[in-house]
Amino acid sequence: MKIKTKHIAFILLLSSCRNAPNNTDNDYFTIPANESTHKVDSKAEFEFQSLDAKNLNTKAIRFAQNGNVAKADALLKEANELEPNNPVIISNIANVEVHNSNLEKSIELYNQSIKLSDSLYYPAIVGLALVYAKTAEYDKSISLSQFAIKKDANNPDLYYNLILAQVSSGACSSGENSLNKLKQIVGNLKGKKKSQGEYVLNASSQIVLTCE
């Protein structure tokens, strides 16, 4: 089953490594406004070694927010020259490749980011899971999402890709079960996290509605 989806805002473009709010100001755009690092392992931090690289990454986010993805891409590649092994920057470049429909290249970059972070950098895992879902590699997508959920079971962002892959592969009952779990999680959230969770829940519910 092929489901038409927008570039959901759960491919996260991030620039710092302290707090992890879930708000996204740029709904459904490939590169949202988030600047804090989400992590599968709360002990894992991915600090920028260069202030210039960090600033370039931050500027790239701003340009992407305003729709200038080409400029964002140029700034990210400049940052990558300063820090070629930074999983945050590499994952962000992969996000741009997804936006530009260069999915094979994005898979290569997400895998590189995941390897450099010892499989701890959550946005790269989420991004790769979405690309696998979009390219009908559903088993790979589901495995990645389940891996992330085991590490961060109450993060609603992780469920969209899982539900997308499950429903797209025809496993509607599994998708419905995941949606019910997501409803429980969102019901326990508060404030901005609840608003973001409800956004994820609504998008996920629309996917499950396509089940026959």
* Nearest-10 crossing angle of helices 159-168, 138-151: 150
The CATH architecture annotation of domain 51-208 reads Alpha Horseshoe (1.25)
What ranges do the domains of the chain cover? 51-208
Looking up tokens 């829940």 gives 201
Q: How many of the other CB atoms lie within 10 Å of CB of 58?
A: 17
| 8 A C-beta contact, residue 119 and residue 125 | yes
Cα–Cα distance for residue pair 144/159, rounded to 1 Å: 11
Average pLDDT estimate for 163-179: 96
Q: What share of the chain in percent tops pLDDT 90?
A: 63
pTM of the model: 0.79
Amino acid at 176: E
Q: What is the pLDDT of residues 6-48, one digit of tens each?
A: 444 434 443 333 233 333 332 222 333 333 334 444 334 567 8
**42 versus 91: which is more confidently predicted?**
91
